[in-house]
């Protein structure tokens, strides 16, 4: 699409110049915080230094440092965008630079807290913005060891990183939004945050972080919930392993700050840093905080895809040859042995009744998908319902013909349908795919406007209740009570600590 008509908006830090594109106003690479570089590495982000003149905001800025996985997520191949520790930027799509006070949709990207960016082509906000008359914002945040490594304890406070600096970046972006979004035609009193995978896990954390309270008013969690955090003791162990890999000790704070980012990226591999229950930013497990009312008065949509792990496990060389003994071994890594055996039998019987494959490989993928994604999503729905709050549950079951349909409704598949940017070679095509995308877009947009995802195309979407009302997204979108409930019940006896 061609660009036309340069546009200037004044933010609280200075003027920025975007562009107009077919009636839509676009601003890319907008700084929402000062660069976290040098002495600011591992510290909470600070306000942007004001500038004079007009700053260009017509192309995406550098993304957070990361190692690009050669395979990426199946339908979201990584792109070689410029990388820098100076990465705290966001992007805005809006139908008008006026005082219309439109709803704001604020997207937090996934990538396992180690990869991804707000400027990935799949997250282009133009279709959502035009279709729903909303302002769409996507953002970068610090990743990996730079964003989610607790160094405070091991360094004796020399580097006071909580392990939640990436979350604090997201909060800083929301604060920027609160101060500036009216200049972009948005309403700072009607902000819906949404994300997928680690982005949804971030949303789950933000529902629990006191510093985020009041910065958003609705939340959507796609294939990620409130269970992917580390207790402080485990975070300290991760930090110890990180320093060991670098050959540094707890007192080498200056050396750690001065290391090239490439060394940090190499050292963080296999350590999987993620948000930390540190007592300063995150005071408790997010799911426990939600149970205790931290998300009170915030409507929520939460759900997952039916076959998440079929794509996530594509590079597992041992999985195709898995036998019954190997299946049980893998399951006992997730839960006590007696629970594992009973769970396998429940899944075997449930899948057989649906005429689904019951090989050890298929059984493990179904169990792992529910353990990582569906059951944590249901736990959030239950927690919010227990507070008497509105929560809407979904299950995405569309299975495109890619690889002869063997991947089913795989991880991240729904993202393209939500943004209206789905790639036909990965997601399917034709009238049914187009209708599914419209249904999901309209539900998300209705939720942004009113807090209720029911809409003309989709029809009524009742709130989650004791009947476990769930919207199924497929060729024919429809509501069911307690779908796949045999498998869900099997997890009732598994401790929540094993989930996620």
Q: Does the annotation mark 109 as catalytic?
A: no
- Measured CA to CA, the distance from residue 94 to residue 403 in angstroms comes to 37
- How many Å apart are CA 451 and CA 208, to the nearest integer? 19
Print burial letters for 356-383: b (CB count within 10 Å at least 16), e (below 16).
eebebbbbbbbbbbbbbbbbbbbbbbbb
End-to-end Cα, the chain, rounded Å: 41
Tokens (6 digits) for 103: 């709803």
Q: Among residues 196, 308, 414, 487, which one is catalytic? A: 308
Half-sphere exposure in the Cβ direction for 164 (13 Å, CA): 27
Residue of 117, 119, 197, 304 marked catalytic? 197
Told to judge if 411 belongs to the known catalytic residues of this protein, a careful annotator would answer yes
Question: Residue 41 — φ and ψ, nearest 5°?
Answer: -60, 130
Q: Are 445 and 134 in contact (CB under 8 A)?
A: yes
Does residue 478 carry a catalytic annotation?
Answer: no
Say how many CA atoms lie within 13 Å of 397 toward its Cβ. 15
How open is the CA angle 394-316-401, to the nearest 5 degrees?
A: 50
State the catalytic residue, choosing from 411, 412, 437, 449: 411
The set of catalytic residues is 197, 308, 411
């Amino acid at each position: 699409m061609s660009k036309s008509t340069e546009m200037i908006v004044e933010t609280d830090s200075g003027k920025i110049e975007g562009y107009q594109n077919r009636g839509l106003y676009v601003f890319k690479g907008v700084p929402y915080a000062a660069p976290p570089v040098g002495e600011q590495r591992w510290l909470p982000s600070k306000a942007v230094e004001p500038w004079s003149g007009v700053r260009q905001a017509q192309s995406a800025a550098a993304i957070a440092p990361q190692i690009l996985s050669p395979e990426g997520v199946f339908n979201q191949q990584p792109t070689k965008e410029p990388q820098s520790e100076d990465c705290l930027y966001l992007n805005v799509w809006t139908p008008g630079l006026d005082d219309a006070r439109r709803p704001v949709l604020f997207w937090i990207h996934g990538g396992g807290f180690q990869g991804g960016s707000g400027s990935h082509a799949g997250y282009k906000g133009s279709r959502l913005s035009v279709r729903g008359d909303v302002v769409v914002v996507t953002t970068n945040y610090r990743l990996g060891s730079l964003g989610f490594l607790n160094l405070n304890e091991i360094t004796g406070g020399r580097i006071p990183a909580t392990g939640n600096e990436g979350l604090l970046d997201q909060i800083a972006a929301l604060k920027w939004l609160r101060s500036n979004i009216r200049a972009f035609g948005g309403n700072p009193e009607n902000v819906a945050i949404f994300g997928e995978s680690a982005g949804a896990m971030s949303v789950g954390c933000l529902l629990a972080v006191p510093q985020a309270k009041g910065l958003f008013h609705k939340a959507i969690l796609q294939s990620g919930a409130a269970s992917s955090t580390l207790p402080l003791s485990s975070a300290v162990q991760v930090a110890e392993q990180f320093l060991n890999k670098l050959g540094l000790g707890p007192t080498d704070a200056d050396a750690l700050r001065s290391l090239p980012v490439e060394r940090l990226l190499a050292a963080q591999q296999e350590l999987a840093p993620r948000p930390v229950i540190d007592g300063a930013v995150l005071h408790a497990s997010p799911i426990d905080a939600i149970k205790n009312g931290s998300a009170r008065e915030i409507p929520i949509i939460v759900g997952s895809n039916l076959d998440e792990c079929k794509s996530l496990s594509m590079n597992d060389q041992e999985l195709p040859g898995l036998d019954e003994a190997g299946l049980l071994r893998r399951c006992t890594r997730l839960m006590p042995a007696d629970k594992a055996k009973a769970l396998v039998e429940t899944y075997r019987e449930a899948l057989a009744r649906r005429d689904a494959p019951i090989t050890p490989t298929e059984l493990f993928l179904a169990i792992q998908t529910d353990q990582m994604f569906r059951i944590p999503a249901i736990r959030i729905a239950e927690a919010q319902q227990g507070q008497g709050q509105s929560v809407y549950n979904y299950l995405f079951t569309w299975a495109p013909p890619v690889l002869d349909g063997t991947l089913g409704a795989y991880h991240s598949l729904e993202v393209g349908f939500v943004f209206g940017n789905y790639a036909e070679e990965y997601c399917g095509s034709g009238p049914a795919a187009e209708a599914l995308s419209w249904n999901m877009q309209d539900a998300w947009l209705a939720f942004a406007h009113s807090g209720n995802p029911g809409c003309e195309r989709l029809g009524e979407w009742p709130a989650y209740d004791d009947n476990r009302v769930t919207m199924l997204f497929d060729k024919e979108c429809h509501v069911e009570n307690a779908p796949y409930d045999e498998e869900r019940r099997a997890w009732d006896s598994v401790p929540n600590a094993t989930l996620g």
